[in-house]
């Protein structure tokens, strides 16, 4: 998959695999589910931020002056409501000064196509590093629509972060937005006839917020 779609990056880490297993387990309770999502999101944030550009400046230690570093561009996190909200705290733990926007998309369960119902993003999104957060990359329709919206708002640097990805979603996103990097904690087998990821972890939003 990574050879076929070079923009797809699987975060292959023992602790991530352990936490993905917690998410998959149907007996996992919402509080435990949320904590696992946060931990995985933290690891994703570390991997994504390795490409951030830096500015240098002089900083004075108690002993002498030395070179210091700061992020060159502002970071904007954009969770897709509502499931993406569960990933925000993990990213903020690594990037505490990031701004947070929101996009609301609903999937039509018959057509599987997304419909936008809410959006709010910072004004300076055009000069920021934007990280779109959505736990599941299934058909890719919602993620593609969200990225198109962000581009219309002026966003030029966008990466997509998810917990679980299906090959169908990677193919869709790569075709629609070939310049976008996709970071995922797991690569699953396929979608079922209802558009759910197999083996997957169920509905991430319902499991995060206990609304099953």
Name the phi and psi angles at 149, rounded to 5: -60, -45
Annotated catalytic residue within 21, 32, 56, 111: 111
- Known catalytic residue at 203: yes
Cα gap 138→195, rounded to integer Å: 7
Residue 12, judged by CB atoms within 10 A of its CB (0-12, 13-18, 19+), counts as exposed
Instruction: Clarify whether 27 is annotated catalytic.
Output: no
| Residue 206 bears catalytic tag | yes
CA-CA distance, 129 to 125, in Å (whole number)?
8
Task: Record the tokens describing residue 155, joined without a space.
Answer: 């966003």
Residue 64 near residue 56, CB atoms below 8 Å: no
DSSP secondary structure, 130-155, as one string: EEEE-SEESSSHHHHHHHHHHHHTT-
State the catalytic residue, choosing from 24, 107, 126, 153: 107
Task: For residue 107, indicate whether it is catalytic.
Answer: yes
Catalytic residues: 107, 111, 203, 206
């Amino acid at each position: 998959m990574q050879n076929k779609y070079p923009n797809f990056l699987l975060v292959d880490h023992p602790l991530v695999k352990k936490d993905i297993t917690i998410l998959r387990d149907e007996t996992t309770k919402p509080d435990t589910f949320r904590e696992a999502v946060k931990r995985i999101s933290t690891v994703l944030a570390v991997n994504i931020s390795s490409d951030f550009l830096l500015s240098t400046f002089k900083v004075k230690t108690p002993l002498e002056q030395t070179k210091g570093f700061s992020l060159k561009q502002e970071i904007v996190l954009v969770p897709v409501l509502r499931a993406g909200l569960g990933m925000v705290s993990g990213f903020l733990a690594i990037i505490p000064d990031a701004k947070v926007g929101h996009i609301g998309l609903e999937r039509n369960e018959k057509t599987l196509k997304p419909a936008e119902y809410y959006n709010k993003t910072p004004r300076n999104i055009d000069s920021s590093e934007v990280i779109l957060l959505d736990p599941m990359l299934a058909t890719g329709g919602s993620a593609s629509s969200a990225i198109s919206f962000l581009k219309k708002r002026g966003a030029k640097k966008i990466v997509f972060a998810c917990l679980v990805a299906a090959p169908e979603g990677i193919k869709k996103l790569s075709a629609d937005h070939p310049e976008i990097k996709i970071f995922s904690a797991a690569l699953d087998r396929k979608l079922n006839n209802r558009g759910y990821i197999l083996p997957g972890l169920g509905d991430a939003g319902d499991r995060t917020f206990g609304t099953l």
